[in-house]
Structure formats: C-alpha cells, structure tokens
Amino acid sequence: MTALSQIRNFSIVAHIDHGKSTLADRLIQATNTVAERDMKAQMLDSMDIERERGITIKAQTVRINYTAKNGEDYVLNLIDTPGHVDFAYEVSRSMRAVEGSLLVVDSTQGVEAQTLANVYHAIDANHEIVPVFNKIDLPASDVSRVAEQVEDVIGIDASGAIAVSAKTGEGIVETLEAIVHQLPAPKGDPETPLRAMLVDSWYDSYLGVIVLVRIIDGKLRKGEKVKFISNGTIHHVERIGVFRPKMENVDELGPGEIGFMTASIKQVRDTRVGDTITHQKSEVTPLPGFKPAQPVVFCGLFPVDSALFEDLREAIDKLALNDASFSFEMESSAALGFGFRCGFLGLLHLEVIRDRIEREYDIDLITTAPSVVYHVHMRDNTMDELHNPADMPDMTLINHIEEPRIKATILVPDEYLGDVLKLCQDRRGIQSDLTYAGSRALVVYDLPLNEVVFDFYDRLKSVTKGYASFDYTLMGYREDALVKMSVLVNDEPVDALSMMVHRDRAEVRGRAMVEKLKDLIPRHMFKIPIQAAIGGKVIARETLSAMRKDVTAKCYGGDASRKRKLLDKQKAGKKKMRQFGSVNIPQEAFISALKMDN
C-alpha cells in the first residue's frame, strides 16, 4: 500500500479534439509505463468507434509511477474522462474520485463550450486545477490570447499555465512536475471501515463485471465480502488490481488508491456508478451525490430485414450487459414490424449504440425520429411519463403537458452571432445571458430539449460554418402548448412517424414532413394521399400521383402520331357502342361498324 503523501489522483478535462487522449499517451510514454514497442495512439481508448471519431466514450484509468526531479517516487492515478455532455454524470463521478485536474485547452482555438462544462464539474468537486495549453507546435498557436480567455471566461489564474505539445512531447516533464507539486495528496484513514466509490463498471466475458473503485477509507482485500449500499447486494471479492494500463493484480487497495475488483457479478445493472461499497457487516454513511442514470432521449430501432429481429434482440442484450444507462423494451409497428424502443443518455449515445449494432452485428437498422420524455398531467391529478408519441392518451383526458428544458451554452465568433440568435429564437429559446470573450460571444439559452434532438446541432454547425461549440445541461420540466402530430399515408396512420410538436410550429413541421415523404415513397398504380394531422384536423397534405404509362411516347418506334390515330378510332368506336344502348350487338356487326369509320 502506497503512502498517501506519495499519491496524486487527477483527471484531464478538455473540449473534444483539444488533445486530451494524446496528452495521456505522452504521460504514459514519458514515464515508461508502457514499453515503446507497445505504444499506440489513443492508448486508453479501447473501442474502434472511439479511435475513428477521436473521442472518449468510456472513462479509463491508468496508474503511473514517476520519479520527480527531487528524487521522490510518486504514484499517479489518471482517469481519462469522456468530454461529451451525454456522459456528464459519469464525468461528475470520476471528478469526485480524484483531487485535481489538468485543464487542457487548444492554444489555436481557445476555450470551447465543453471546456466550460467540464471545468465546472471540476470546480464543483473542489479540484485544484492546472491549466495546460496544448498544440503550441502549430503556427496558429496563441498562448497569451488563450490565457486571457481562460481568466476572463472561467476565472482561473492562467499565469502559471504550462505550454505543451502532446504531439512532439514538449512540456510533458513540466506537466508531470506540476502534477506532483501543485495537486494535493488524497486524504483517508486506513483503520476505519471500508468506504469505496464505484467510479465505473463494464462487462468482461471471462471475469464478469469489472468494477473500477476509488478507496476513500479503509482497505479492500481479496477474499472479503463486500456490500453495494444502493441495492444491498453482497459479493465475494475474487480479484483486485490496478491498470498499467493492462490489468495487474495486487494484494490490497488502501485509501487514495484507484483500482479494480471482480466478484462474479453477472450484470452491469447491479453496479451503479457513484454507489458506495463497504464490507458486508459494516455500517457506513454513503458517499453523497449518487443517483441512477436516467435516459433522456428515446427512439425506435427496427431491423430493415424483419427476419433479423432475433439477431437484433441478441445484439441489444449483449450491449446492455456493458451499458447500464442503455434501456430498451420491445415494441411493434404496423409499418416497420417488430423492434425495440430504446432509451439513451443523448444523441451521441444513440449514435454510438446504433453504429455498434450495425458494425459489430452486421444488422441494418431503421431508426425512428428521436423523442424525449414528456410529463403528461391527467385531469384526475395523475402524471404519466410519455416515451413514445404513439402512446399519447386522448386529449380530452389531459390537463396539460410538460416538456424537458435545457440550459444551452454556445460559444461562437461574433460575426455569426446574429444567425445563432435567430436559430435559437426559431427553436422557442429564451435568452438568459450574452457575454464576450475577445472576439467570441458566449450565449446562454433556455431551450426545449425536443427542439435540440431534432436537427439543432446540424443547423448550428451549418449557420456558423462549423465554428460554434455547443453544450447543455438539463434544467427540468415546463408546461407548454404541445400536441401530437400524426402522419397518415393512404388514410392509414403510421405510428412510427408520430411526433410531439408545439402547436405554433405544427403546420411548418407537418408540411416539411409530407413534402419529404412525397419524395421518398415510390409511386404506385393509384393515387396516395400523404397527410399530417392533429387529432381529426388535417394541417398539411401532399398527393403522390398514380404511375401511368405514357403510351403516346413509347410505341411504334417512338412514332406517337400513329398511336394517337389508333386511340382516336378506339374512342369513336366506344362512342358508337354507347349509341347502340343495351341492344345485344353481334361481335361481327360491331367490328364492321368500326371498319366503316376507317
């Protein structure tokens, strides 16, 4: 067990693409934690999708041994946290497991929205924060400008910031020295009953669930029985260890240390992030801040080939083993067949799950439009949660509907500010704040989450040519004039296309929907009406015309005049036939009558 004074626990917080994972790679490389031949880019990112997108989805940890310039040996525990807002709760729990943070800012871009969101998590956790300005090897680097931004926008003293290039390795030793001398050592009492925080968990097909823990007080040893306070389950500890970054077994973990344990746990759902772990017979006060992960975005996943439904069920079951925040239940649609209604932490979480199913299990998916959870207050004073707009109860039974609202933080160059303000106003946003940091505007808006999950981020990137950064936090629920818009194709409602919209925007959304469907639905031999309706009132309609042959243009080698003459003769013959009335005319006479017109 390492002495508390020689331990430093820290995380790296940054906006996406600011070099967080690359800096972690250089710290591992500079301390010879991994042999040079085994080094690779994004060392701590294990999934292919993380490497391809350059993002961190699952928090990873690594123990680094470092001998400082003063000759002291230190143990550094690094937690590489996700940067995206979808995983904000996981980030907040990881922050509570460490005492300090490296705030990495791209010296060519400056402070971004996710930089703000994540550094506020660190400030809430009472972290000591060391600013690190990355990418100083690039010609566009401007350290003084970025330092001024950090002081103005975040309020952190940047005079002692470290200038580094994670790509070339410049400034890495100075970063390690700052970690051991500026960040505080952890606190804890090895003699008190065990209290450990569950930082993260994931499923291993050989070991069961692997639990990442931070020991707050007491000691954790192999063979002990431990209790998870949130659900009261008891497990026998089979293995404990640390990550270097590969798993390495140890005899015990003491206060301040971060490591893993396995206990033949079958499901990740039994191990909740933020939970408190103690010995079976110990009674301790749970660590504050624990809450179960709640999905906020829902959509339907259906296989393109209905024969692959069982394969989709198996794929989703396996993914759920490794992701406690992913929820699902079976649903059926008259238009799309059998599928699953799935809950996600956000749009990125949705994209990751969908991409993993398509890539790892080779199943082509149809994804319905994402929706959020609404609170439907009934006239009998009850409240129901509405996950799927198709399940909307009768409006006569509803008192009012509440929708989730978010606090959106947008950082944008001031030349695009007008376009951003217009976009937010169009999405029913309420402006809360507008400040400037140099030539960039910081806009804070109160927005409906429903408007954000539709296409807000794509529109924001479009109107700002990709220069805006966006982050949000959930604020709560608020009543508004919401209605269910149904889409009818050939007078039959398509449940998978139902959506909740604001009454004032219903006609615009309905018209856009039916126009799009008119382009997508193939033509048939009959007319197909496409309608958007609220209850029994049609608010938009398009008609897909019937498919008919243009017989006058494709006959007799393209000679339309000969075909037209024949059609005229047939028309005259039908007219003559009607003149005969109901008289039964022999076929020969009818033919003769036609010949008379020639």
Do 116 and 168 belong together in one domain?
yes
Do 383 and 364 belong together in one domain?
no
Percent with pLDDT over 90 in the chain: 29
Q: Is residue 290 part of a domain?
A: no
pTM: 0.71
Do 14 and 163 belong together in one domain?
yes
The residue range of the domain holding 309 is 297-368
Predicted local distance difference test score (pLDDT) of residue 81: 72
DSSP annotation of 83 reads: -
**pLDDT at residue 324 greater than cutoff 90:** no
Predicted local distance difference test score (pLDDT) of residue 596: 40
Of 434, 453, 480, the domain-final residue: 480
Lowest-pLDDT range of 13-17, 173-177, 446-450: 13-17
Return the SS3 of 233. Answer: coil
CA-to-CA separations, 213 to 19, 78, 343, 449, in angstroms, rounded? 26, 13, 27, 33
User: Higher pLDDT residue, 347 or 170?
Assistant: 170
**pLDDT at residue 286 greater than cutoff 90:** no
Lowest-pLDDT range of 98-112, 272-286, 390-404, 574-588: 574-588
Predicted local distance difference test score (pLDDT) of residue 85: 63
* Residue 430, number of CB atoms within 10 A of its CB: 12
Name the pLDDT band for 51 (thresholds 50, 70, 90): low
What's the token pair of residue 124? 């809430």
Do 486 and 476 belong together in one domain?
no
Q: Is residue 131 part of a domain?
A: yes
> Which amino acid does the sequence have at 378?
M
What average pLDDT does range 263-267 have in this prediction?
87
Predicted local distance difference test score (pLDDT) of residue 548: 64
Q: Which residues pair with 561 in a beta bridge?
A: none
Do 471 and 519 belong together in one domain?
no
pLDDT in tens, 76-135: 999 877 766 666 677 777 888 899 999 999 998 888 877 777 787 788 888 899 999 999
CATH of the domain at 163: 3.40.50.300
Q: From start to end of 462-598, where are the E strands?
A: 469-480, 482-489, 492-493, 499-502, 528-534, 537-544
Q: Is residue 291 part of a domain?
A: no
Do 57 and 101 belong together in one domain?
yes
Predicted local distance difference test score (pLDDT) of residue 598: 36
Of 135, 159, 182, the domain-final residue: 182
Q: Is residue 188 part of a domain?
A: no
Q: Is residue 564 part of a domain?
A: yes
**Strand (E) or helix (H) holding 591:** helix 587-596
Q: Is residue 444 part of a domain?
A: yes
Q: How far apart are the first and last CA of the chain?
A: 110
**pLDDT at residue 150 greater than cutoff 50:** yes
Q: Which residues pair with 102 in a beta bridge?
A: 12, 130
Distance CA 122, CA 410 (A): 20
**Strand (E) or helix (H) holding 408:** strand 398-413
Do 133 and 20 belong together in one domain?
yes
**pLDDT at residue 197 greater than cutoff 70:** yes
Torsion sign, CA atoms 13, 15, 21, 23: negative
Do 500 and 527 belong together in one domain?
yes
Of 125, 160, 182, the domain-final residue: 182
Tally of domains in the chain: 6
Do 393 and 319 belong together in one domain?
no
Do 476 and 489 belong together in one domain?
no
Name the pLDDT band for 576 (thresholds 50, 70, 90): low
**Strand (E) or helix (H) holding 447:** strand 440-448
Q: Is residue 521 part of a domain?
A: yes
Q: Is residue 139 part of a domain?
A: yes
Do 72 and 126 belong together in one domain?
yes
